[in-house]
Amino acid sequence: MAAADEEKTAFHTGQGVYCYTKMPFGLKNAGATYQRLMGKAFKNQIGRNIEVYVDDLVVKSHTETEM
């Protein structure tokens, strides 16, 4: 998350005001951003031995030793 955008995630508690420094789940584009980044990070493996589903990664193999 860009430092300039941290204040947009501010919330108040009895102990003070806090801001996220990383993108939390629940923000409007958080899921899409996560899925896009996972697609880039694992582009050579998606469809072969990794699947990305919503906010999860599924690693698949024929045997345990392939993992």
Q: Exposure string (b/e) for 10-49, b if CB count within 10 Å is 16 or more?
A: eeeeeeeeeeeeebeeeeeeeeeebeeebeeebeeeeeee
> What are φ and ψ of residue 22, in 5° steps?
-125, 155
Q: What is the pTM of this model?
A: 0.60
Pairing of strands 50-53, 56-59: antiparallel
Spans of all domains in the chain: 3-66
Rounded to an integer, what distance in angstroms lies between the CA atom of residue 36 and that of residue 18?
Answer: 27
- Taking only the tens place, the pLDDT of each residue in 12-63 is 999 999 999 988 877 888 888 888 888 899 999 998 999 988 778 899 988 8
